[in-house]
């Protein structure tokens, strides 16, 4: 299923405050970084993309590529329920269920997200080992460090191979080795999924990579395109 998210002239307000305005963009399969200064509207855009928040104006369209023997290839509009079934989300402040252990929480997440029960144990163990959480697997989430909890949040977001993966500041609190591991996992996932990552850690973005970048500036898209075309990302954070 090749998924696409089309954002059409979207605006978002909280009371009298305009957070986003005139957002036009299409997210396709691959990895897209959403960058911008604090308060630019990045997190609000991600929440809109999850369908958890409704735009004040404009619309978001979620489609999948369908191959039909009679009708040929076309894009089918997905319902909100269909979108939510294939979407994962990591908020900027992830807590999970504090009284669950790491293994319990991830097992519950895997089952809830549709992984066949016969494959749950192997998938959970694979992800725990890859994220270097084996020693913490029997520890409650409430007893984890900030970086350890962040890794649990990332694992739960990727464990079921989502078609739309939305992550808000996912590398916060991770060391270099951990960041590299999760970047590699996200790149693998992006071959068949729409992966959207909000980050201020632009040094984590490969300047020679083929990822896409969307720059949010004062609630609008200031610039967008391939990383190599946009060039120096630091300039978007200069005063």
| pLDDT tens-place string over residues 65-75 | 888 888 788 89
Which residue matches tokens 């549709």?
114
- Which of 132, 161, 190 is the C-terminal boundary of a domain? 161
What pLDDT score was predicted for residue 239? 54
Co-location of 138 and 152 in the same domain = yes
Tokens of 152: 């649990």
- Which of 161, 183, 207 is the C-terminal boundary of a domain? 161
Query: How far is residue 64's CA from residue 36's CA, in Å, rounded to a whole number?
Result: 29
% of the chain exceeding 90 in pLDDT: 81
Residues 6+ apart with CB under 8 A from 107: 120, 121, 124
The domain total for the chain is: 2
> Can you give the residue range of the structural domain that contains 128?
92-161
What pLDDT score was predicted for residue 238? 60
| pLDDT tens-place string over residues 79-106 | 999 999 999 999 999 999 999 999 999 9
Co-location of 62 and 177 in the same domain = yes
Comparing CA positions, the residue from 66, 173, 159, 55 lying closest to residue 116 is 159
Tokens of 136: 């913490």
Cα three-residue angle 19-206-195, rounded to 5 degrees: 50
Co-location of 153 and 75 in the same domain = no
* CATH number where 233 lies: 3.40.50.300
Co-location of 230 and 186 in the same domain = yes
Q: What's the per-residue H, E or C state across 151-197?
A: HHHHHHHHCCCCCEEEEECCCCCCCHHHHHHHHHHHHHHCCCCEEEE
Co-location of 76 and 193 in the same domain = yes
Co-location of 177 and 68 in the same domain = yes
Co-location of 180 and 222 in the same domain = yes
Query: How far is residue 38's CA from residue 50's CA, in Å, rounded to a whole number?
Result: 20
- Which of 105, 135, 161 is the C-terminal boundary of a domain? 161
């Amino acid at each position: 299923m090749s998924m696409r998210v089309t954002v059409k002239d979207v605006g978002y307000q909280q009371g009298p405050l305009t957070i986003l305005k005139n957002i036009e963009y299409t997210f396709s399969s691959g990895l897209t970084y959403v960058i911008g200064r604090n308060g630019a509207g990045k997190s609000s855009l991600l929440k809109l993309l999850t369908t958890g928040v409704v735009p004040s104006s404009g619309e978001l369209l979620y489609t999948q590529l369908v191959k039909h023997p009679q009708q040929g290839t076309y894009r089918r509009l997905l319902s909100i329920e269909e979108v939510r079934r294939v979407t994962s989300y990591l908020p900027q402040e992830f807590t999970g269920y504090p009284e669950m252990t790491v293994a319990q929480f991830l097992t519950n997440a895997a089952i809830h997200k549709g992984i066949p029960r016969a494959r749950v144990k192997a998938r959970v163990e694979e992800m725990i080992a890859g994220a270097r959480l084996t020693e913490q697997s029997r520890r409650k989430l409430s007893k984890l460090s900030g970086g350890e909890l962040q890794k649990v949040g990332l694992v739960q977001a990727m464990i079921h191979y989502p078609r739309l993966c939305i992550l808000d500041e996912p590398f916060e609190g991770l060391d270099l080795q951990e960041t590299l591991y999760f970047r590699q996992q996200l790149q693998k996932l992006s071959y068949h999924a729409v992966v959207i990552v909000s980050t201020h850690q632009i040094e984590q973005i490969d300047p020679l990579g083929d990822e896409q970048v969307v720059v949010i500036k004062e609630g609008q898209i200031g610039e967008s395109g391939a990383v190599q075309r946009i060039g120096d990302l630091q300039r978007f954070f200069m005063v």
